[in-house]
Amino acid sequence: MLTNKEIARQFNDLAGLMELHKESSFRIRNYSNAYITLRKLGEPIAEMSTEKMATLKGIGKSTASKIKEIIDTGEMTKLKEFQAKTPPGIQDILKIKGLGPKKIRQLWKELEIESIGELWYACNENRLISLKGFGTKTQLDVLKKIEYFQQSRGKFHYARLENEALELVATLKKHLNTEAVYLTGGMRRKMPVVTQIEILVAVEGSMDAVLAELMEIEETVDNKIKGKTKNETPLTLHQCSPNQLGSKLFSTTGPRTFLEAFLEKSAADDFKNLATEEAVFEKAALPYLAPELRDDNRWLATDERPKLVTEQDVKSVMHLHTTDSDGIHSLREMALYIKGLGYEYMGLTDHSQSAFYANGLKPDRVLQQMEEVDALNQELAPFKIFKGIESDIKHDGSLDYEEDILKKFDFIIASVHAHLKMDKEKATQRLLTAIENPYTTILGHPTGRLLLSREGYPIDHKKIIDACATNNVIIELNAHPFRLDLDWSWIPYALEKGVKISVNPDAHSKEGVHDIHFGICAARKGGLTASTCFNNLSLKEFEEYLSKVSGSK
């Protein structure tokens, strides 16, 4: 039997959807009143007759008939009608507390936002502050509400948990007076999406006093302690003796598919009581494999072990936005900040003219910005700003300016931002047309995905990568932790075809530059090395590359 709260929830959902669609305020108020009445009702509404329901304050005959329909079928036809004409992602946004239907309609209709991930990304790109009734404070408030909502769904972006996890490791090392504390599981393998923090501690004896300060313990079984951190993050803490550290670190790092394949390939089948992880691989007669590579069993079929790219190998910031489009820092501020971090050069890529939602640059503003770049380059030399644009790939696959403007850019990142609802054939052809354009330097975030929110449009990855190889186009691994697109699993095929990967932060602020870190985490999973990372080119090498590519096109 449905409870009063369960029935009430359907009226609350209906009122919200009707307000979203600007229906009669009188009817919206009636359904809101019904929700309040049902929530407060002391006796089960399901046990009442329809006639008695109709006598309740805030109910009436029409609403009573809908309550009876819910009791009999579990559903309300009226609610289903409004759900059918509302994108599922918008219905998810309606569940975020404190963000009402009127504001959600504004986001939907004016910014074409249709999912929580798209809303988060719009906040990251500062698009909300352009709307009437929104501002910087409101945008920050929306971000906090989204983070709280996402936390309740049991999956997390790696970036969301990294700092908390590292702080826990540092705290445990300090209080237990040991260095034998390690991240493990999906966090250690740098999975883009994880379900919890996992930590391994190699100490003898009880840790109860320390753990009481760090987590709420829910279950303890076989030296595995499960619970939640003070931030309500799921946490599993494994404990072992120091002489078992290597064995336990190996087994808890996983994943299961790798562990099974490892045993099949191994020269031994017993890996207990080994003090180091290197000893596990040595006993198996297999070369050591970095944790990031253990989600792809291809590495067990070869003795090849790539020297994985590091953040220190990155010499440039190749995808960033300024206040000229939808960034929050000026070109000068971004340039000074990036130079101060020690990078040799940067690629300026504000949005192109079709991106009206992001204050995209019309041709006259492009030329004005280029003059500013020239002046800054004289001032900041030897640091250099390259004149680029993030050109929208239009519906037919063409780029966003006429040739007289396109040829003035030093390089172009071509990306899809609009008309995302495509089948595989259409999406693939659209990208192929853009890749074949002689002015395309880098293919930006190839599938348009937003992790935990929006699946990317379907593409034939092999055709796209093959076309990039043929046309000498670089593929972006967009380093924003909500994107990480190109997915790491396609990097080996790209490298096999000779296509380099550019790890780009897509920074909309100075702080956003640091997302390169998360891009490198993902790139390492795909076996990217310094020599196959496009951002590893020195300033001179990049200039030579642009000259060579320009000559060939």
Distance, in Å, from the CA atom of 461 to the CA atom of 314, rounded to the nearest integer, reads 25
* 191 backbone φψ class: left, alpha, beta (φ>0; ψ -120 to 50): beta
Enumerate the H helices of 180-294 as residue ranges.
185-188, 208-214, 245-253, 256-265, 277-284
β-pair partners for 221: 224
Q: Which amino acid is at 176?
A: L
* 434 backbone φψ class: left, alpha, beta (φ>0; ψ -120 to 50): alpha
Collapsing DSSP states into helix, strand and coil, what is residue 489? helix
What structural domains and CATH numbers belong to the chain?
1-86 (1.10.150.110), 91-153 (1.10.150.20), 164-301 (3.30.460.10), 311-552 (3.20.20.140)
Distance, in Å, from the CA atom of 174 to the CA atom of 552, rounded to the nearest integer, reads 58
Enumerate the H helices of 152-220 as residue ranges.
158-176, 185-188, 208-214
Distance, in Å, from the CA atom of 87 to the CA atom of 78, rounded to the nearest integer, reads 16
What are the CB-based long-range contacts (under 8 Å, 24+) for 205-211?
Answer: 207/176, 207/237, 207/239, 210/172, 210/175, 210/176, 211/237
Paired tokens of 368: 């004005």
C-alpha 551: how far from chain center: 37
Cβ pair 158, 191 in contact under 8 A: yes
CA atoms within a 13 Å half-sphere pointing along the CA-CB vector of 19: 20
Taking only the tens of pLDDT, the chain with its 553 residues reads 788 888 989 999 999 999 999 998 888 999 998 888 888 787 889 888 999 998 888 898 999 999 999 999 999 999 999 999 999 989 989 887 778 899 899 999 988 889 888 888 888 778 888 788 888 888 888 887 777 676 657 889 999 999 999 999 999 999 999 999 999 999 999 999 999 999 999 999 888 889 988 999 999 988 899 999 998 899 999 999 999 999 999 999 999 999 999 999 999 988 999 999 999 999 999 999 999 999 999 999 999 999 999 999 999 999 999 999 989 899 999 999 999 999 999 999 999 999 887 889 999 999 999 999 999 999 999 999 999 999 999 999 999 999 999 999 999 999 999 888 899 999 999 999 999 999 999 999 999 998 887 889 999 999 999 999 999 999 999 999 999 999 999 999 999 999 999 999 999 999 999 999 999 999 999 999 999 999 999 999 999 999 998 766 5
Q: Which pLDDT belongs to residue 58? A: 81
Length of the chain: 553
Distance, in Å, from the CA atom of 247 to the CA atom of 244, rounded to the nearest integer, reads 5
Q: Which pLDDT belongs to residue 117? A: 81
Cβ pair 527, 492 in contact under 8 A: yes
